[in-house]
Structure 1
Amino acid sequence: MRSFGNRSDCRGIDEPFYAYYLAETGLQHPMRDAVIASQPNSWREVISKLNGPPIPETELLYIKHMTHHILPEIDFENFLSHKNCFLIRDPRLVIASYAAKWDQISTDDIGIKRQLEIFNTLQDLSDDTPIVVEAEDILKDPQRMLPELCKLLEIPWQSQMLKWPAGRREEDGVWAEHWYASVNATTGFAPYQAKEVELTTDQELLLAAQMPYYEELQKHKIFA
């Protein structure tokens, strides 16, 4: 989101279905009340805002979703006019990142199973296979991966996608106060460093359950 948000022709929308997701599920996420108050609580209202009115031809709209926010009742036909791109990440790192901020983690929270379901649904509804990008691949070589991603999205490459100012951005959701401290400290893609993380026994079991979904998505990634 920081990378695309730093383009001269792009504006971002951060997790537009989050309030709807919390209202529907009743989950007690950090800052729940503030999130629910900040966005529409109806998925139809969210879709209406995302799909109209048309944005100028010279402008791009970057919409960051969390897959678990996309509940089954949402009509995927509404996404067919979008260029859908899936960012995948090693489930071990996802679980460790989640565990650092919240101790109630499930397959639904991790979102990889739902990510594959959404991928398959969009593929079935259209003639196009959605784009899949591995997070670690971008971190290892952003100067190669980001221009390639722009090419597949049919948008011009802008080198300012590699660097951005530190701090909060206008498009950040209200939940940034809880979740985005490390993101706010960044100014670009730091040199890649492999992360060694330790998981609890329960988290290792959770990891094992995610791997088949992750490995299936990896088959479709750029430079697989």
Structure 2
Amino acid sequence: MRIAMWSGPRNLSTAMTYAFGNRADFAIWDEPFYAPYLATTGIDHPMLAEILAAHETDPDKVAARCIGSIPGGKPHFYMKHMPLHMIEGFPLDWAAGCVNVHLLRHPARVVASYAAKRENPTLDDIGFRQQVELFQRFPGPVIDSADIREDPEGMLRALCAEIGLGFDPAMLHWPAGPRAEDGVWAAHWYGAVHRSTGFAGAEGPLPGLNGPAAALAEAALPYYEELADKRILPR
């Protein structure tokens, strides 16, 4: 099985990658198209030079690896992808051979978290519009990070059942610290996950936003709600 897990930034996506990576039967890959996206768009992101130096920047070569041999000879492959990385001209046909799963988080939480790591985010930066477009082409189970944090085992069991995969309790905990499969950008973005050994508890009230941040979350909300209405729930 090849899982393409699609999400925007600051969205529990790294914790989900660690959960699947802690299974003995899965290889994992961290944002394969991030370096091609940066190389093609020229957008200034934290650690830009390091990312371009350390990772493959040719989108066609990355796509070939998505459907190539699974690393380590494992039976299953989990790939953490962001719809915003799949800009016009990048190959997407490879995703037809994957189980496509869509991970959501309320835009108010995404904007508050993203703005703490990179200034002045835009709607394109947080990926909600692109995720709806990608879901229309590659539909699949929708899961919400709030539901996962509320009931990690129930949600992971529900997701595994939905995609025909046996649940493994190893998904609920992982060793603290970085993983060898992390992208080089982990040094900037993954501090909280590296300090964790499992999913954090339920989140509190939505953060209060003002000015451009509030306007950005409001613009993203209809896209989030369109997919959130389709989300699966714990079993």
TM-score (norm 1): 0.92
Q: Where does residue 39 of structure 1 map in the other structure? A: 55
Q: Where does residue 101 of structure 1 map in the other structure? A: 117
| 1:195, distance to aligned residue in structure 2 (A) | 4.3
Q: Secondary structure at the match of 1:101?
A: coil
Runs of 4+ aligned structure 1 residues displaced above 6 Å come to none
Ranges in structure 2 where 5+ consecutive residues have no aligned partner: 1-16
Flag the 1:49–1:57 CA change in 2: closer, same or farther, 3 A. Answer: closer
Q: 2:83, 2:221 → 1: CA distance? A: 16
| 1:78, distance to aligned residue in structure 2 (A) | 1.5
Q: 1:99, 1:138 → 2: CA distance? A: 23
Tell me if 1:138 matches 2:148: yes
Q: 1:2, 1:54 → 2: CA distance? A: 17
| 1:118, distance to aligned residue in structure 2 (A) | 0.5
TM-score (norm 2): 0.88
Q: Where does residue 126 of structure 1 map in the other structure? A: none
Q: 1:199, 1:95 → 2: CA distance? A: 9
Aligned residues: 218
Whether the 8 Å contact between 2:59 and 2:91 is mirrored in structure 1 is: no
Q: Where does residue 147 of structure 1 map in the other structure? A: 157
Flag the 1:49–1:207 CA change in 2: closer, same or farther, 3 A. Answer: same
| 1:193, distance to aligned residue in structure 2 (A) | 3.1
- Amino acid across the alignment from 1:223: L
- Amino acid across the alignment from 1:36: L
Tell me if 1:14 matches 2:30: yes
| 1:80-118 deviation per Cα after TM superposition (whole angstroms, max 9, x unaligned) | 100000000000000011011111300011101100010
Q: Where does residue 213 of structure 1 map in the other structure? A: 223
| 1:52-74 deviation per Cα after TM superposition (whole angstroms, max 9, x unaligned) | 13668852111001221111222
Q: 1:202, 1:216 → 2: CA distance? A: 22
Flag the 1:139–1:10 CA change in 2: closer, same or farther, 3 A. Answer: same
1:79 to 88, 91, 95: 95
Flag the 1:33–1:58 CA change in 2: closer, same or farther, 3 A. Answer: closer
| 1:75, distance to aligned residue in structure 2 (A) | 3.2
Ranges in structure 1 where 5+ consecutive residues have no aligned partner: 123-128
Q: Where does residue 185 of structure 2 map in the other structure? A: 175
Q: 2:120, 2:44 → 1: CA distance? A: 10
RMSD: 1.7
Q: Taking every aligned residue pair, what percent have the same amino acid on both sides?
A: 39
